[in-house]
Homo-oligomer: A and B are copies of this chain.
Amino acid sequence: MRKIGIPEIEDIALGAALLGAGGGGDPYVGKLIAIGAVQECGPVTILDPDEVPDDALVVPIAMMGAPTVLCEKAIGGEEYKTLYETVSAFYGKPIYAFMPIEAGGVNSMLPIAAAARLGLPLVDCDGMGRAFPELQMVTFTIGGGSATPMAMVDEKGNSCIFRTVTNKWTEEMARAVTMACGGSVSVSLYAMEGRFMKEYGVHGIVTRSETLGSAIRKVKEVSDKTPEEAFLEITEGYKLFQGKICDVLRDVRNGFNFGKVLLDGIGDDKGRSAYVEFQNENLTAVVDGKLLATTPDLICLVDIETFIPVPTDALKYGKRVMVVGLKCFPLWRTEAGLKLVGPRYFGVDTDYIPLEERCKGGC
């Protein structure tokens, strides 16, 4: 158990934006929401998963929809209270703690805001260890957990609770409501008991985000390495490419940010070209026609000077970025994991080959 305030939030936002793998929303917007709540209601208690009783009700909090929309259609602040009341009433017992469902610039931040506003602790655990675009894409699905009863609320005060026969049906129904409400809503889903969270969750994700964020911020202070070497070491990342963004194709539809970013090589990669395709999160990285990384491994674009992650929302012509691959949480590499989030699910016609094998002998 420890308390986090504004400095920790800054680091968590930065680290989580990297783990967002291009998705998870703009950390600046997320940070403002979390900092606003902490300034108003005080610091938030972070619990280690093992500190949560087995039968306690733990509820993930997130936003659903296109992160791009959240910049203009913000969170009101009353949403978490409505979610708390709706879920508590449904289960007939109070919520013990909130938790994040994924790591990302926005969805790592909103649970902090919710915890601050309701005076509840936040568990250091999520269901992805990164960000993914659809809501059945969590380790809890592999464990047989149900996304529903799922509560949704918009900034106007409209709310609903779903119960569905599969998590894929939750996605279908919730996505439809998200679109009807203007493209982004606040949700609670996969409400679970402490014991299930401990068995299937990605432990330590808040702390990992904070550590990464802090290290990225200090990457130029490491004396015996270049900043790039230091960055790759702390993230355990594989450098896939470095280049200048020469085109960005975007298509916001069905509540997702679809697109493709094209890169012209610079430095060691001069004369080569690459592209990264995304559906909220980056899905594939292709260099000179060769596939170097696919989902569920993390494909992250970071600024070549500051190593600050560049989410898909912020991709712009002329920006110089490094494309980095990070290994995903081991459960995603199992057959059940790949069925949920492997390349074929996203329409990429290739088997999953782990990042480190694709990159063997140099990327």
Contacts and interface: CB of A to CB of B under 8 A. Distances in A.
Contacts of A177: 173, 176-177
A77 to B, nearest CB: 16
A50 interface: no
A44 B309 CA distance: 65
A161 B158 contact: no
A164 B158 CA distance: 4
Contact of A158 (B156, B157, B158, B162): B162
Contacts of A160: 160-163, 173
Given A172-B180, A177-B173, A180-B172, A156 B161 contact: no
Interface string A147-163: 00000000011111111
When all copies of this chain in the complex are counted, the total is 2
A327 interface: no
A179 interface: yes
Contact of A176 (B157, B159, B165, B179): B179
Interface in A129-170: 156-165, 169
Contacts of A56: none
Contacts of A179: 176
Contacts of A158: 162-165, 169, 173
Nearest to A162: B160
A359 interface: no
A158 to B, nearest CB: 4
A175 interface: yes
A172 B161 CA distance: 16
A169 to B, nearest CB: 5
A163 B159 contact: yes
A4 interface: no
A346 to B, nearest CB: 20
Nearest to A179: B176
A331 interface: no
Contact of A173 (B157, B165, B180): B180
A363 interface: no
A156 B169 CA distance: 10
A244 B165 CA distance: 47
Nearest to A165: B157
A160 to B, nearest CB: 4
Contacts of A175: 180
A248 interface: no
A286 interface: no
A158 B164 CA distance: 4
Contacts of A173: 158, 160, 177, 180-181
Given A177-B173, A180-B176, A162 B164 contact: no
A161 B158 CA distance: 11
Given A157-B165, A176-B176, A177-B177, 5 more contacts: A156-B169, A157-B164, A158-B163, A160-B173, A176-B179
Interface of A: 156-165, 169, 172-173, 175-177, 179-181
Listed from nearest, the 5 A-B pairs whose CB atoms lie closest are A176-B180, A176-B176, A160-B162, A158-B164, A157-B165
30 contacts: A156-B165, A156-B169, A157-B164, A157-B165, A158-B162, A158-B163, A158-B164, A158-B165, A158-B169, A158-B173, A159-B162, A159-B163, A159-B164, A160-B160, A160-B161, A160-B162, A160-B163, A160-B173, A161-B161, A172-B180, A172-B181, A173-B177, A173-B180, A173-B181, A175-B180, A176-B176, A176-B177, A176-B179, A176-B180, A177-B177
